[in-house]
Structure 1
Amino acid sequence: MSLDLNTVLKDWPHEPGMIKVRKVTGLDGREKLQLRIDLGVLQMEMTGRPDGLRPHGCDSLLSYHQNRAQLAEASGDNYELTPEECSELQQEGIQYYHRYVSLFQLSDYAGVIRDTQRNLDLFSFVDEHSQREEIVWNFQQFRPYVLMMNTRAKASLLLHEGKFADAMREIEQGRDTIIEFFQQSNFPELATKSSEVAFLEEWLEEVSAKRPRSKLEIMEREMETAIGKELYERAAELRDAIKQLKANGQTAEKR
C-alpha cells in the first residue's frame, strides 16, 4: 500500500479561504473528523482529546494538571505550572481549536460549546497557576475569540429552535462578557477595536431584523407609519387597539 497522500488529497482539493471539513469512518469503525489544510489533512477524534492520546492516563493534559492541582490544594500546597508545561498545554489547546472550528462548519454546535468551554477553562487554569504575566497573556489573548465562538454556537442552537429572543440575549451576554474582559485587562482600549465585539453586534442586528414580530410589535410599527404619513385617524384606531391588547395581556398574566 502506497504511503503517498496524493491519492487521498487529489479528490478533496484545498481551496484558499475556505474551511473544508468532513466526517469519515476510521479503521476502528468510529467516526473521525477531517480538516483540509493547504499541505494535507488533519484527522481528529470526535470526542476526547482530538489526537486520541491520553496523557498520563488522563482525558487530556489539562485534566492531568487539574487533578494534580486539586491534590496539591488538598495538601495545602500551591500548584504552579512551569513554562514548559504551559507550552504543552497551549499546543493541546490548539488541537481543540482545530476541532471546534471544524465542528462549527458542520453545525455541530453542542460540540463547539463543549470544546470552546474547555479552552476557556484552560485559560482560567493557566491564569490561576502561572505567575508569569506574559505566559498568562499568551493564553488570555485568545479569550475574546473563543468567547465569540462559544456565543455563536449557543445562539445558533437557540435560533434553530426558533427562540429568537433567547438567542439575542445570548449574543448580548457574549458581547458584554468580551467587553468586560478587555476593560479588566491591561488593554481596555481594545474593547472598542475588538473584531469579536463588532461581529456580535452586527449579528445581533441581523437576528433582530429577522425575528418574527408579535402582533403588538406589528401594530406599534404600523401606528408609527400612520403618524409619519399623517394618517391620524388610523393612528388613533391603532393606539386604542394597542391599549386594549396590552390590557388583555395584563389581565391574562394575573390569572
Structure 2
Amino acid sequence: MAHNEHIDRILRDWPFDPNGISVRKTKGNDGREVLQMRLDLGLLQLEISGRPDGSRPEGAETYFDYLVGRALEAVPEGEYEMSEEECEQADREFVQYYHRRICWLALREFDEAVLDADHTLGLMDFCRDHSPDDQWTMSHEQYRPFVLFHRTQAAALAALADRGAEVAVEELNAGLERIREVFAQYEAEEEYTDDELVTRLIELRESLRQHFHVGRTLQEQLEEAVATEKYELAAQLRDELQKRNPPR
C-alpha cells in the first residue's frame, strides 16, 4: 500500500524565490549531507558526491565512466559509436551535473563547482568524439563556452580565496583562452570579443586587478618574454611559476 508522504511542510517553510537561486545543504534521514534546490513546483535533492542522483549506472560511478569503459572495449579500437540509448543517458547526466554545478556556485563552494564542470567538459569531449550524429553533437557543443564560463569563474574565485588575486587573474586568463579556442574551432572568432560571457569574465579580471592592485602576472610576463625572445628572463619567470605552483 502506498504511503501518503507529503513535502508540504518543507515547501511552506522554504518559500520559492523567483528572483534568486535558493539552495541549501541539509542532512538526510541517515545523516548524510545532500543538496536541495527550491523550485517553483517543489525541490530537487542531489547527492554531494558521485552522480547527483546517487545511482551507479551499469555499476559505474557515473555514466561517463561507464561510457569510457565501453569505448575501451570497442573493436576495432577507437571506432566506438554511441547508441541512441547511450545518447539519452548522457543527456540525463548532463542535466544532473548542471543542476549540481549551479548549487555549488550558489553556495560559493567553488572547488566543487570546478570538479563538476570538469566532469561535464569531459563528457562533452567523449560525446563529440563518439557521437552518432552531428546535430546531437552541436546540441551540446553550443553550451561549451557556458560551462567554461562557470568553470573559469569558479576556479578564479577559489584561487582568490586560497592563493591570492594574481593567481585568480591567471585563472581568468586561462579560461578566456580556452573559450577563445572554442570560438576559433567553430570559425566564430569574430563573435568572441562581443560575447556576453567573455565580457563578464574580463570585467571580473579587471575588477580584481584594480581592487587588489594586480599588475602583469608572472604568466603574462613570461608570455611577453617569450614573444620578445628574452629567453633568460623567460627561464627565470618559469622557475618562479614552478615554485609557486609545484606539481601535485
Structures share fold, TM-score greater than 0.5: yes
* Alignment equivalent of 1:34, drawn from 24, 36, 39: 36
More divergent stretch after superposition (59-68 vs 81-90): 81-90
How far off is 1:100 after superposition?
1.1
Change (3 A) 1:168 1:35: same
CA contact (8 A) 2:83 2:132 kept: no
CA contact (8 A) 2:166 2:214 kept: no
How far off is 1:205 after superposition?
1.2
What amino acid maps onto 2:112 in structure 1?
A: G
Match of 1:44 in 2: 46
What amino acid maps onto 2:148 in structure 1?
A: L
CA contact (8 A) 1:23 1:32 kept: yes
Provide the aligned length of Structure 1 versus Structure 2: 214
CA contact (8 A) 2:97 2:116 kept: yes
Q: Check if 1:105 corresponds to 2:106.
A: yes
Superposed, 1:1-255 pairs within 5 Å as 2-72=4-74, 76=77, 78-161=79-162, 163-212=164-213
How far off is 1:78 after superposition?
1.3
* Distance in 1 of aligned mates of 2:4 and 2:23: 24
Q: Aligned Cα RMSD in Å?
A: 1.9
Change (3 A) 1:2 1:76: closer
Match of 1:218 in 2: none
Structure (1 or 2) with the larger CA radius of gyration: 1
Runs of 4+ residues deviating >4 angstroms = none
TM-score (norm 2): 0.81
Q: Which runs of 5+ in 1 are unaligned?
A: 215-252
Match of 2:225 in 1: none
More divergent stretch after superposition (88-97 vs 2-11): 2-11
% identical equivalent positions? 36
CA contact (8 A) 1:148 1:174 kept: yes
What amino acid maps onto 1:7 in structure 2?
A: R
SS in 2 for 1:170: helix
* Distance in 2 of aligned mates of 1:65 and 1:115: 17
Change (3 A) 1:26 1:166: same
SS in 1 for 2:35: strand
Give deviations 1:144-176, integer Å, cap 9, x for gaps.
Answer: 111111111111111113511111111011112
How far off is 1:212 after superposition?
3.8
What amino acid maps onto 1:132 in structure 2?
A: D
CA contact (8 A) 1:83 1:135 kept: no
What amino acid maps onto 2:52 in structure 1?
A: P
Change (3 A) 1:213 1:126: closer
Match of 2:224 in 1: none
Q: Which runs of 5+ in 2 are unaligned?
A: 216-239, 241-248
How far off is 1:186 after superposition?
4.6
TM-score (norm 1): 0.79
Give deviations 1:65-108, integer Å, cap 9, x for gaps.
Answer: 110101116x5361101233212201211101100110111121
* Distance in 1 of aligned mates of 2:144 and 2:118: 10
* Distance in 1 of aligned mates of 2:84 and 2:194: 30
